[in-house]
Structure 1
Amino acid sequence: MTDAPSFMADYGERLVDNGYSVIPIMPGTKVPGRFTGGEWSPYPDWTRHCDRPTKPFEVDIWRRWPGCGVGIATGAVVGIDIDILDGALAIQIAELATSMLGDTLCLRIGRAPKRLLVYRAATPFAGRKRHPLELLAHGQQFVAYAVHPDTGRPYEWPEDSLVELPLSRLPVVDEASCAAFLDAAWALVPDEVRVNSILADVPTSTWRGPSDPKGTRDAIAAALAWLPNEDLPGNEWITVGAAIKAAIGEEGRDLWLDWSRRSGKSGQSGRSDTPERRWASLRPHSVGAGKIYWLAEQRGWVPDPALTLNGTAAEQAAQPHPAAGLLAKVAVAPLPIAPPPKPYRVPPELLQVDGALRMFVDYATASAVSPQPFLSLGAAICLVGAIAGRRYRTPTDLRSNVYAIGIADSGGGKDHARRCAKRAIYAAGLDRYLGGEDLASSAGLLTSLQRHPARLFQVDEFGQFLKLVLNQRAPAHKAAIWSELTKLYTSAAEPYIGAEYADQKARPRVTIEQPCACIWGVTVPGPFWSALEGGALADGSIARFLVFLTDEDYPERNETPASMDPPADLVTAIKAIARGVPGHSHGGNIADAMEASAPIHAYTVPLSADAQAAMAVVRREATDLLRSHRGTYATALFGRYAENTAKLAMIAAVSREPTRPVTEAGDVAWASRLVEHCVATMLREAERRVSDNDTEAKHKRLLEIIREGGRQSRSDVTRRSQFLSRREREEILASLVEAGLVVAEQESGATKPSTFYTAVAPSRPPLFTEIPR
Structure 2
Amino acid sequence: MTTPNYMAQLGATLVDRGFPILPIQPRSKKPGMYRQGAWHDYPKWSRHCERATTENEVDIWSDWPESGIGIAAGRVIGIDIDVLDGEIAAKIEGLAKRMLGDTPAVRIGRAPKRLLVYRAAQPFAGFKYPPIEVLGQGQQFIAYGIHPDTGQAYDWPVESLADLNLSDLPAITEAQAREFAQEAYLMIPVALRPKSLSVGRQAAGECAHLPEQRGTFAAVEDALTYIVNADLDYDSWVRIGMAIKGALGDAGWPLFERWSASSQKHEPKTTAQAWRSFAPQRIGAGTLYKLALDNGWHPAADLQLNGEIVSEGVHPAQGLIDGVREGLLDGLLEQNEPDAYRPPPPTPLPAGWDAVDGVLGQMMQLMITTAKRPQPVLALGASLCAVGALMGRKYRTESNIRSNLYVVGIAESGAGKNHSRVVINELFRRANLLQYLGGNKIASGSGLLTALMRQPAILFQLDEFGMFLAAAADRKRSPRYVTEILDLMTELYTTSGTTYFGVEYASTQHNDAHRAIHQPCACIYGTTTPLHFWQALQAANVADGSLARFLILESEEDFPDSNEVFGSIDPPQALIDTLVLIHEGGGQLSGNLANIGAVAEVEVEPLVVPTAPEAQAVFRALDQTLLQELRRARGSGLSSILARIEENATKLALIRAVSRDPVAPQIEASDAAWGAMLARHCAELTIREVAARVSENPTESNHKRSLKILQDAGAQGMSKRDFTRRTQFMDLHQRDSVLKTLVDAGFVALEQRLTKGRTAQWIRYVGGEEVRS
Mapped contact 1:580–1:658 kept (Cα < 8 A) = yes
1:526 pairs with 2:531: yes
- Report the counterpart of residue 214 of structure 1 in structure 2: none
Cα distance in 2, alignment partners of residues 361 and 507 from structure 1: 41
Cα distance in 1, alignment partners of residues 369 and 389 from structure 2: 23
Cα distance in 2, alignment partners of residues 586 and 641 from structure 1: 35
Provide, for residues 64-123 of structure 1, a one-character-per-residue CA deviation record: whole Å limited to 9, x for no partner.
Answer: xxxxxxxxxxxxxxxxxxxxxxxxxxxxxxxxxxxxxxxxxxxxxxxxxxxxxxxxxxxx
1:431 pairs with 2:409: no
Cα distance in 1, alignment partners of residues 764 and 724 from structure 2: 14
Cα distance in 2, alignment partners of residues 541 and 505 from structure 1: 29
Mapped contact 1:428–1:574 kept (Cα < 8 A) = yes
User: Of 398, 402, 427, which aligns to 1:399?
Assistant: 402
Residue 475 of structure 1 deviates from its aligned partner by 0.5
1:552 pairs with 2:557: yes
- Report the counterpart of residue 470 of structure 2 in structure 1: 467
Mapped contact 1:586–1:603 kept (Cα < 8 A) = no
Give, as a single letter, the amino acid of the residue that structure 2 aligns with 1:464: M
Cα distance in 2, alignment partners of residues 642 and 598 from structure 1: 31
User: Of 404, 409, 412, which aligns to 1:409?
Assistant: 412
Mapped contact 1:714–1:757 kept (Cα < 8 A) = yes
- Report the counterpart of residue 675 of structure 1 in structure 2: 679
The runs of 5 or more residues in structure 2 that have no matched partner are 1-321
Residue 526 of structure 1 deviates from its aligned partner by 1.0
Q: How has the CA–CA distance of structure 1 residues 4 and 435 changed in structure 2, closer, same or farther, with 3 Å as cutoff?
A: closer
Mapped contact 1:357–1:377 kept (Cα < 8 A) = yes
- Report the counterpart of residue 40 of structure 1 in structure 2: 337
User: Of 619, 630, 633, which aligns to 1:615?
Assistant: 619
Give, as a single letter, the amino acid of the residue that structure 1 aligns with 2:391: A
- Report the counterpart of residue 69 of structure 2 in structure 1: none
> What is the DSSP-based 3-state SS (H/G/I as helix, E as strand, rest coil) of the residue aligned with 1:556?
coil
Q: How does 1:618-697 map to 2 (within 5 A)?
A: 618-697=622-701
Q: How has the CA–CA distance of structure 1 residues 506 and 625 changed in structure 2, closer, same or farther, with 3 Å as cutoff?
A: closer
Residue 626 of structure 1 deviates from its aligned partner by 1.6
Cα distance in 2, alignment partners of residues 534 and 753 from structure 1: 42
TM-score computed with the length of structure 2 as normaliser:
0.54
Q: How has the CA–CA distance of structure 1 residues 738 and 654 changed in structure 2, closer, same or farther, with 3 Å as cutoff?
A: same
> What is the DSSP-based 3-state SS (H/G/I as helix, E as strand, rest coil) of the residue aligned with 2:407?
strand
Cα distance in 2, alignment partners of residues 678 and 625 from structure 1: 16
Q: How has the CA–CA distance of structure 1 residues 583 and 697 changed in structure 2, closer, same or farther, with 3 Å as cutoff?
A: closer
Mapped contact 2:445–2:484 kept (Cα < 8 A) = yes
Residue 764 of structure 1 deviates from its aligned partner by 6.6
> What is the DSSP-based 3-state SS (H/G/I as helix, E as strand, rest coil) of the residue aligned with 2:490?
helix
Provide, for residues 294-338 of structure 1, a one-character-per-residue CA deviation record: whole Å limited to 9, x for no partner.
Answer: xxxxxxxxxxxxxxxxxxxxxxxxxxxxxxxxxxxxxxxxxxxxx
User: Of 528, 540, 561, which aligns to 1:535?
Assistant: 540
Residue 740 of structure 1 deviates from its aligned partner by 2.8
Residue 716 of structure 1 deviates from its aligned partner by 2.3
> What is the DSSP-based 3-state SS (H/G/I as helix, E as strand, rest coil) of the residue aligned with 1:350?
coil
1:720 pairs with 2:726: yes
User: Of 557, 576, 582, which aligns to 1:577?
Assistant: 582
- Report the counterpart of residue 744 of structure 1 in structure 2: 750
Q: How has the CA–CA distance of structure 1 residues 726 and 660 changed in structure 2, closer, same or farther, with 3 Å as cutoff?
A: same
Cα distance in 2, alignment partners of residues 653 and 501 from structure 1: 41
Provide, for residues 244-298 of structure 1, a one-character-per-residue CA deviation record: whole Å limited to 9, x for no partner.
Answer: xxxxxxxxxxxxxxxxxxxxxxxxxxxxxxxxxxxxxxxxxxxxxxxxxxxxxxx
Provide, for residues 338-362 of structure 1, a one-character-per-residue CA deviation record: whole Å limited to 9, x for no partner.
Answer: xxxxx73212301000111101111
- Report the counterpart of residue 337 of structure 1 in structure 2: none
Residue 2 of structure 1 deviates from its aligned partner by 9.8
Cα distance in 2, alignment partners of residues 42 and 345 from structure 1: 25
1:382 pairs with 2:679: no
TM-score computed with the length of structure 1 as normaliser:
0.54
- Report the counterpart of residue 571 of structure 2 in structure 1: 566
Cα distance in 2, alignment partners of residues 504 and 606 from structure 1: 44
Cα distance in 2, alignment partners of residues 680 and 477 from structure 1: 32
Provide, for residues 454-478 of structure 1, a one-character-per-residue CA deviation record: whole Å limited to 9, x for no partner.
Answer: 0000111111111101112210110
User: Of 676, 699, 702, which aligns to 2:703?
Assistant: 699
> What is the DSSP-based 3-state SS (H/G/I as helix, E as strand, rest coil) of the residue aligned with 2:538?
helix
Cα distance in 2, alignment partners of residues 749 and 666 from structure 1: 54
Cα distance in 2, alignment partners of residues 4 and 763 from structure 1: 16
Q: How has the CA–CA distance of structure 1 residues 612 and 742 changed in structure 2, closer, same or farther, with 3 Å as cutoff?
A: same
Cα distance in 1, alignment partners of residues 338 and 525 from structure 2: 41
Mapped contact 1:469–1:479 kept (Cα < 8 A) = yes
Q: How does 1:226-237 map to 2 (within 5 A)?
A: none
Give, as a single letter, the amino acid of the residue that structure 1 aligns with 2:523: C
Mapped contact 1:453–1:595 kept (Cα < 8 A) = no
Cα distance in 2, alignment partners of residues 537 and 528 from structure 1: 14
Give, as a single letter, the amino acid of the residue that structure 2 aligns with 1:495: T
Cα distance in 2, alignment partners of residues 594 and 661 from structure 1: 26
> What is the DSSP-based 3-state SS (H/G/I as helix, E as strand, rest coil) of the residue aligned with 1:40?
coil
Cα distance in 2, alignment partners of residues 750 and 560 from structure 1: 45
Q: How has the CA–CA distance of structure 1 residues 657 and 699 changed in structure 2, closer, same or farther, with 3 Å as cutoff?
A: same
Cα distance in 1, alignment partners of residues 597 and 471 from structure 2: 35
Q: How has the CA–CA distance of structure 1 residues 754 and 591 changed in structure 2, closer, same or farther, with 3 Å as cutoff?
A: closer
- Report the counterpart of residue 302 of structure 1 in structure 2: none
Give, as a single letter, the amino acid of the residue that structure 1 aligns with 2:426: R
- Report the counterpart of residue 490 of structure 1 in structure 2: 494
- Report the counterpart of residue 502 of structure 1 in structure 2: 506
Mapped contact 2:333–2:342 kept (Cα < 8 A) = no
1:450 pairs with 2:453: yes
Residue 488 of structure 1 deviates from its aligned partner by 1.1
Q: How has the CA–CA distance of structure 1 residues 430 and 3 changed in structure 2, closer, same or farther, with 3 Å as cutoff?
A: closer
Give, as a single letter, the amino acid of the residue that structure 2 aligns with 1:504: T
Cα distance in 2, alignment partners of residues 360 and 688 from structure 1: 34
Q: Which moved more, 1:684-693 or 1:659-668?
A: 684-693
Mapped contact 2:717–2:765 kept (Cα < 8 A) = yes
Cα distance in 1, alignment partners of residues 729 and 533 from structure 2: 18
Provide, for residues 527-546 of structure 1, a one-character-per-residue CA deviation record: whole Å limited to 9, x for no partner.
Answer: 21112224201221110111
Cα distance in 2, alignment partners of residues 454 and 365 from structure 1: 26
Mapped contact 1:388–1:578 kept (Cα < 8 A) = yes
Mapped contact 2:324–2:746 kept (Cα < 8 A) = no
- Report the counterpart of residue 343 of structure 2 in structure 1: 60
Q: How has the CA–CA distance of structure 1 residues 506 and 390 changed in structure 2, closer, same or farther, with 3 Å as cutoff?
A: closer
Mapped contact 2:548–2:640 kept (Cα < 8 A) = yes
- Report the counterpart of residue 354 of structure 1 in structure 2: 357
Mapped contact 2:456–2:598 kept (Cα < 8 A) = yes
- Report the counterpart of residue 302 of structure 2 in structure 1: none
> What is the DSSP-based 3-state SS (H/G/I as helix, E as strand, rest coil) of the residue aligned with 1:626?
helix
Q: Percent identity?
A: 38
Mapped contact 2:453–2:597 kept (Cα < 8 A) = no
* Bigger radius of gyration among the two: 1
Q: How has the CA–CA distance of structure 1 residues 568 and 386 changed in structure 2, closer, same or farther, with 3 Å as cutoff?
A: same
Mapped contact 2:324–2:745 kept (Cα < 8 A) = no
Mapped contact 2:394–2:589 kept (Cα < 8 A) = no
Provide, for residues 577-611 of structure 1, a one-character-per-residue CA deviation record: whole Å limited to 9, x for no partner.
Answer: 101133458854x8647656542011110111212
Q: CA RMSD in A?
A: 2.8
The runs of 5 or more residues in structure 1 that have no matched partner are 10-34, 44-57, 64-342, 768-773
Cα distance in 2, alignment partners of residues 733 and 505 from structure 1: 56
User: Of 736, 742, 745, which aligns to 1:730?
Assistant: 736
Q: How has the CA–CA distance of structure 1 residues 409 and 591 changed in structure 2, closer, same or farther, with 3 Å as cutoff?
A: closer
Give, as a single letter, the amino acid of the residue that structure 2 aligns with 1:393: R
Residue 752 of structure 1 deviates from its aligned partner by 6.5
Q: Which moved more, 1:623-632 or 1:535-544?
A: 623-632
Cα distance in 2, alignment partners of residues 535 and 678 from structure 1: 19
Mapped contact 1:645–1:672 kept (Cα < 8 A) = yes
Residue 520 of structure 1 deviates from its aligned partner by 0.3
- Report the counterpart of residue 422 of structure 1 in structure 2: 425
Cα distance in 1, alignment partners of residues 709 and 356 from structure 2: 36
- Report the counterpart of residue 287 of structure 1 in structure 2: none
